[in-house]
A and B are shown apart, each in its own frame.
Chain A
Amino acid sequence: MTWTWFHRLASPPYVYALAQRLTPWFAWPAALLMAGGLWGGLVLAPPDYQQGDGFRIIYVHAPSAWMSLMVYTTMAVAAAVGLIWRIKVAHAVAASCAPIGASFTFAALVTGALWGEPMWGTYWEWDPRLTSELILLFLYLGYMGLRAALEETTRADRASAVLAVVGVVNVPIIHYSVIWWNSLHQAPSVMRLARPTMPPSMLVPLLMMLLGFTLFFAAVLLVRLRGEVLNRERTASWVREALQA
């Protein structure tokens, strides 16, 4: 089989056009899944026997937290690809991921704090899960700060790629922190090798929200990627033609 379709992904004009075509295919399913997940989670799912209706914030909190880890991993993989094979588009992908991931991390921390106040009695607790998620936010901010501080694009790409790869060690620490340490945050009940412990009426909307958030991230990434590619290639001739079309 030919690998041309794969190699074409390294070409900025091809990726620019492809991203425009693909965005609706991610955006509309994302909207539908999130709407369905919110309906199922906020209206249809029964109240929790312990937490009552307050547990429903999980439908925003848990997907945000999962996405914060997923986006960092995506960013680190894209950065590594760019570093090893010197593909500029990969660096553009990594640069586009960072603000999205930082926003998801911030959302996870804020929704977690809002959930913690009625449930644990405190907005914040310095336990391993919360602390390592806060570290993740600082890793994102450090990545974006390093990119902004280095003027030359090639050097900024490669230096922030090294930083992203070095920081990826934090991702398993966050996930396993509730298993390795005595943590106030509850242990994994969904992302585990055994069967999830949640009943289907609560689990299905959660999985719908997770998938919806993932597709939403893909759609937003494609939009940002187009802007990033355009900025990097602004002096190239294909840009003038593409913008005139």
Chain B
Amino acid sequence: MRSGATQVGHALSARELAAAEATAWVDNPAPHQRASALAAARLALARDLRLAFRKRGQLVQPLAFFALVTMLFPLAISPELARLREIAPGVLWVAALLASLLALEFLFRDDAYDGTLEQYALSGQSLTWLMFAKTAAHWLLTGLPLALMAPLAGLSLGVPARALPAIVAAIAVGTVVLSLIGSIGAALTLGVKRSGALLSLLTLPLSLPVLIFGARATQLAVGGGPLGPPLELLGALAVLGVTLAPLAAAAAVRISLE
């Protein structure tokens, strides 16, 4: 039966052939035209940073939380600077840990909600690199500002000024590991309602080495001692996290999206 509507099976004219060839690369790019995993990761990083800066108010929340938690201890324990100086390393690290945990819920929330995470998983690009990019953006937006704000909190707890650079370095490296471990936990609990406590239960046991070494480094910085060993161990944890955590987070995201 002849049907005028269907065009399937009729030969393409020369013009149509040329047009099809010109745009075929969109669906079947040649190797040199495909975006590399690194380029895709760079795009994801830039996107996350750009989106976050559109809601600048939200960026301040973890910092405000950090400042408030730090403020609780002088009011609850003792306002004497000598006593505060003793507990300052622990207080700074616990406050940084809790602020990081708070910020972790926003790592995947928006992207999971509007389907971008599914597009990442379906894109054919390396999900590991994309997870690394997202975690890097998260650290740049929460961990690094926390590290830069730590001197203020430290001074309020009586920490001597000579210890401040070491504290910034230690918290900067430590929050890298926290963001990486937290990305695994956040990926596992994707879409779970009121997952805050569960996320903490999953992330905190794995983050305890960071807390131990970071607090030790800060303690040595305040008291004046060899900082090398704990800082190097923190660095080792960061290297371990950077290499393995995005892999686990990518696997967890694929599982959560199934």
Contact = CB atoms under 8 A, between A and B. Distances in A.
A155 B252 CA distance: 10
A158 B255 contact: yes
Contacts of B251: 162
Contact of B201 (A145, A166, A170): A145
Contact of A162 (B198, B208, B252): B252
Contact of B256 (A135, A141, A142, A159): A159
A135 B212 CA distance: 13
Contacts of A145: 198, 201-202
Contacts of A159: 188, 252, 255-256
B205 interface: yes
A149 interface: yes
A159 B252 CA distance: 6
B206 interface: yes
Q: How large is the interface on A (under 10, 10 to 19, 20 to 34, 35 or more residues)?
A: 10 to 19
B198 A138 contact: no
A122 interface: no
Given A166-B184, A166-B248, A149 B192 contact: yes
A155 B256 contact: yes
B189 interface: yes
A98 interface: no
Contacts of B208: 131, 135
Contact of B258 (A135, A149, A155, A162): A155
A135 B202 CA distance: 11
A146 B198 contact: yes
A167 B208 CA distance: 12
Interface string A68-108: 00000000000000000000000000000000000000000
Interface of B: 184, 188-189, 192, 195, 198, 201-202, 204-206, 208, 248, 251-252, 255-256, 258
Query: 10 closest pairs, A vs B, by CB?
Result: A158-B255, A138-B205, A142-B201, A135-B205, A142-B202, A159-B188, A149-B192, A162-B252, A159-B255, A139-B205
